[in-house]
């Protein structure tokens, strides 16, 4: 069970309080109607599945009810950082 630092509550809390929201930093296209089916399909359905560094959203559902992002190593499950929505991760790169 993971232990996750909520950047809003500023506390390390147990995974039980959170739910994972999948890949972070996916911007919704500003003009969806101008996209081809394929482009829209990419936005809708295609997600990274890296071995190693992954940026993902978490929701502190039984805590502050706020979303934030985490940089997690998908191999070791180590959470390298958490940061607020709208800010950028300090750790980037894919693979280990």
Partner 1 sequence: MKQLNRLPNAGRTNPDQNINFTFNGKAYQGVMGDTLASALLANGVDVVGRSFKYSRPRGIVGHGAEEPNGIIQLGSGAATVPNLKVTQVELYEGLEASSVNGWPTINFDLMGIMGWFGRLMPPGFYYKTFMYPQKLWMTYEHFIRKAAGLGKTPVEADPDVYDKLNQHCDVLVVGAGPAGLVAAREAAEAGARVIIADEQSEFGGSLLASTQILNGVSASQWVADMVEQLKRYNNVQQLPRSTVFGYYDHNFLTILEKRTDHLGLSAGKGQRVRQRLHRVRAKQVVLATGAFERPLVFAHNDIPGVMQASSVSTYVNRYGVAPGSKLILATTNDNAYQTAIDWHTAGRDVVAVVDSRQSPNGELVEQVRALGIQIAVGHGVIEAKGGKRVRAAMVAPLNESGSAITGEVKRLPCDLIATSGGWSAAIHLSSHTGAKPVWDESIVSFRPGDSKQQECSVGACNGTFGLRDGLIEGATAGAKAAQLAGFGLGAVQFSPVELVELTQEPQQALFLVPHSRPPSRAPSQFVDLQLDVSAGGIELAVREGFESVEHVKRYTALGFGTDQGKLGNINGMAILANALNQSISETGTTIFRPSYTPTTFGAIAGRDVGELFDPERYTSAHRWHVEQGAKFEDVGQWKRPWYFPKVNETLDQAVNRECLAVRNSVGILDASTLGKIDIQGPDAAEFITRMYTNSYLKLAAGKCRYGVMLKEDGMIFDDGVCACLSENHYLMFTTTGGAAGVLAWLELWQQTEWPELQVYFTSVTDHWATATVTGPNARKVVAKVCQDIDLTPDQFGFMDWRDGTVAGVAARVFRISFTGELSFEINVPANYGRYVWEALIEAGKEFDITPYGTETMHVLRAEKGFIIVGQDTDGSMTPADMNMDWIVGKNKAFSFIGQRSLSRSDTLRDNRKQLVGLKTIDPNIVLPEGAQIVSDPKQPIPMSMQGHVTSSYYSANMGHSIALAVVKGGLNRLGDTVYCPAADGATVPAQIVSSVFYDPKGERQNV
Which residues are near partner 1 by CB under 8 A?
Answer: 1-3, 14, 19, 21, 27-28, 31-33, 35, 37, 40-41, 44-45, 57, 59, 61, 65-67, 76-77, 79, 85-86
Largest CA distance in the chain: 43
- Compare residues 85 and 91 and give the one whose CB is closer to partner 1: 85
Token representation of residue 89? 């991760």
Closest approach, Cβ 61 to partner 1, in A, equals 7
- Minimum distance from residue 78 beta carbon to partner 1 (Å): 8
Q: What CA–CA distance (Å, rounded) separates 22 from 20?
A: 6
- Are the C-beta atoms of 83 and 89 separated by less than 8 Å? yes
């Amino acid at each position: 069970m993971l232990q996750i630092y909520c950047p809003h509550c500023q506390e390390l809390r147990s995974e039980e309080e959170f739910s994972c929201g999948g890949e972070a930093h996916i911007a919704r296209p500003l003009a969806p109607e101008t996209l081809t089916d394929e482009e829209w399909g990419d936005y809708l359905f295609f997600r990274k599945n890296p071995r190693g560094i992954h940026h993902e959203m978490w929701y502190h559902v039984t805590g502050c009810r706020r979303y934030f992002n985490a940089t997690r190593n998908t191999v070791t499950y180590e959470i390298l950082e958490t940061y607020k929505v709208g800010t950028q991760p300090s750790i980037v790169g894919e693979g280990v």
